[in-house]
Chains A and B, each alone.
Chain A
């Protein structure tokens, strides 16, 4: 199989084009690997799930365990918070305290939470505290 790499013109989106007569097992494996880049592996007891980042509300660590919160379900991740933070870089996620990464797209509104901290009300009704230490990053992300 020939592999061709081309540099797209400035401003054009990067893309992967597969030119083939039929899907071989090798190609399917390669496709699965590429698709896996977009998802996070999470556990619900013994079940393994692939979670799409756009469905995640926030990620929290409690006693060195990492939990991924969806609208009304919680999964455990075997990855550390900083690893997930790196995986989700360049997305809508932002570290908002030492133990929480928040999906900014899920915030319904923000309000002051005393002592220079803020509280994010999410669209599923949950509340997440934004630490003063990380306010600078949030302001920068919002262009303030």
Chain B
């Protein structure tokens, strides 16, 4: 992925991560802190966290187009780094206690669920598009 493409992806991902954090926080607080309330600072922290979560995208930076396997390996590395970054900020602001393995597990599971959901949704959309493109390719070039 080249720099300009990466920048576009990062802008798009910022909004996906922000939404993901809000969903995760909602589920997390429903389980552990049902009476929790959020301040203006917390909203700023969510945005800051999303920005920090965007940075690991540099993992995809490459001069040449990555093949499927290379991309899959970088996706896995990205997920690990992203989880670490988000967990760091969540513990920094006392949203998650690193001493509670249950809280850490639920937090990381939320990140994983959002990541996999976005991955599957994108794949499903792309699969539908390729089916259409293959159909057109056959009509235009192989009929």
Contacts and interface: CB of A to CB of B under 8 A. Distances in A.
A127 interface: yes
Contacts, number: 69
**Chain A, interface SS category:** mixed
Nearest to B127: A112
A107 B141 contact: yes
Interface string B58-69: 001000111110
Interface residues of A, number: 29
Contacts of A92: 141
B141 A129 contact: no
A114 B137 contact: no
B82 to A, nearest CB: 14
Contacts of A115: 1, 9, 60, 71, 75, 122
A104 B137 contact: yes
Contacts of B136: 142-144
Interface residues of B, number: 27
Interface in A117-132: 117-119, 127, 129, 131-132
A127 B133 contact: no
Contacts of A79: none
Contacts of A104: 137, 140-141
A97 B2 CA distance: 10
B47 to A, nearest CB: 24
A116 B129 CA distance: 10
Contacts of B66: 129
Interface of B: 1-2, 4-5, 9, 60, 64-68, 71-72, 75, 122-123, 126-127, 129-130, 132-134, 136-137, 140-141
